[in-house]
Amino acid sequence: AASALVLLMTPGLALFYGGMVNAKNVISTMLQSFICMGIISVLWITVGFSLAFGDSIGGFIGDPRTFFMFNGVLESKPWPLASTIPLVLFAFFQLKFAVITPALITGSFSERIRFTSYILFACLFSMFIYAPIAHWTWHPEGFLFQMGALDFAGGTVVHISAGCAALAAALYLGKRKVDAVHAPANIPYVLLGTGLLWFGWFGFNAGSAVSASSLAASAFATTNTAAAAAGLAWILFDAFKGKKPSAMGFCIGVVVGLVAITPAAGFVGISVSIFIGVIAALISNLVVGWRAKTTIDDTLDVFPCHGVGGIVGVLMTGIFAHTAINSGNTTGNGLFYGETKLFFIHLTALGIVVAFSFIGSFILLKITDLITPLSVSREEEELGLDLSQHEEQLVFSNGATEMNTIPDIKVLA
């Protein structure tokens, strides 16, 4: 059930991102998420699972031969940290995390990347960025795991890696060539996507307890609470700045709260999750405002929301984690409880993962660009990626192709 919920997050992300872009790029943006369900699934079977969870090579990467083409997965013993479920189920649960991570990056280069180039980059990112970080963090012999770093459901593995890759992509590709007003195509899509993400995130976080237990219930509760607190904090902070409360604002805040609670979900109490959600929302909101004043064209603010939200979550875990919540935490209590070990381990792990994912992704972008150009031409960008990359477009019963220009909502019926 948890694995199915996590998979649902990728279509949710497609709607979330697809509603935010211009109408001529909705299909291409959504497909960039959906295609990951295909390419990463096949890649995971061939070599991805082995790289992340195969026999450890020095604590840095898994041996690609361990489960090559899923050889032996059905016959092998359960994963040591998930002893109550078959190994194949654990492998497919982890696959869903691997699917959504490169999809998260797409928001940073929406409306200006060639589809075939994106597919190549997604494959390279999955093998050379995602898999190593997953191995470091979640494999019992991974060096971050051995250090004592805590990441309950993917704050470092998923969100920081994707957020830093998104920043690298925004810097590498530069600004969009067509200087046009950015108008969200369909805010109801964003609302629906947020709902699916929130719903699926219970599998993401509660499922990471790998059992139907009190720990899973605790992670379920902290997930919902942080999301709710962050959504409210975002629109209240916007109101404080003189803005009207918006659907977009609440949705973005909810997702930031979900991101921030992810590494901490099974290590902190429910009341603490309110604080984590609020702090993450305020900091991300400020970073979004700062980014808008720069020349960094992170189209959908992936780094301010996922990157910064993940960083805040990892730091909050180092401050508020408590061994009474989760006996699997053998590192110790957080800084708030007078212990410093966990916090400084998290500072170290944070520096390593941020540097590796940002620099590594920048290198992979360069390699991809040398093989096949990343950016579309000015003409293709002006036409829109739906037509230029896929020869498809949004068309409604009255012939309108842009949702915001539909004269009468009754035509949707």
Which single residue is written with the structure tokens 């007003």? 181
Distance CA 311, CA 345 (A): 14
DSSP string, 160-217: IHHHHHHHHHHHHH-S-SS------S-HHHHHHHHHHHHHHHHHHHGGGG-SSSHHHH
Cβ 149 vs Cβ 346: under 8 Å: yes
- 397 occurs within a structural domain: no
Which single residue is written with the structure tokens 């929406």? 110
Distance CA 311, CA 248 (A): 22
Whether residue 396 is predicted with pLDDT greater than 70 in this model: the reply is no
- 294 occurs within a structural domain: yes
Instruction: Give the tens place of pLDDT for each residue, 239-261.
Output: 999 999 999 999 999 999 999 99
Which single residue is written with the structure tokens 């919540």? 325
Instruction: Give the tens place of pLDDT for each residue, 286-299.
Output: 999 999 999 999 99
Instruction: Give the tens place of pLDDT for each residue, 289-339.
Output: 999 999 999 999 999 999 999 999 999 999 999 999 999 999 999 999 999
Domains: count for the chain: 1
What CATH number corresponds to the domain at position 90? 1.10.3430.10
Distance CA 101, CA 122 (A): 9
Strand (E) or helix (H) holding 62? strand 61-62
- 276 occurs within a structural domain: yes
* pLDDT the model gives residue 181: 65
- 263 occurs within a structural domain: yes
Q: What is the mean pLDDT of residues 20-29?
A: 95
- 402 occurs within a structural domain: no
**The pTM is what?**
0.94
Instruction: Give the tens place of pLDDT for each residue, 72-120.
Output: 999 999 999 999 999 999 999 999 999 999 999 999 999 999 999 999 9
Instruction: Give the tens place of pLDDT for each residue, 142-174.
Output: 999 999 999 999 999 999 999 999 999 999 999
Please provide the size of the chain in residues.
413
Which sign does the torsion angle of CA 93, 94, 98, 101 carry? positive
Whether residue 373 is predicted with pLDDT greater than 90 in this model: the reply is yes
- Give 180's pLDDT tier (boundaries 50, 70, 90): low
Q: Please, what's the b/e burial string for 255-288 (b: 16 or more CB within 10 A of its CB; e: otherwise)?
A: bbbbbbbbbbbbbbbeebbbbbbbbbbbbbbebb
Instruction: Give the tens place of pLDDT for each residue, 28-76.
Output: 999 999 999 999 999 999 999 999 999 999 999 999 999 999 999 999 9
Here the tokens at position 20 are: 């935010």
| DSSP 8-state class, residue 56 | E
* pLDDT the model gives residue 324: 96
Distance CA 342, CA 264 (A): 13
* pLDDT the model gives residue 179: 72
Distance CA 126, CA 375 (A): 20
Distance CA 281, CA 3 (A): 27
- 314 occurs within a structural domain: yes
Distance CA 126, CA 364 (A): 11
- 403 occurs within a structural domain: no
Query: 130 is in which domain, residue-wise?
Result: 1-390
- Nearest C-alpha neighbor of 7 from the set 33, 43, 28: 33
- 396 occurs within a structural domain: no
Distance CA 105, CA 310 (A): 14
Residues 5, 8, 10, 13: what is their CA dihedral angle, to the nearest 10 degrees?
Answer: -100
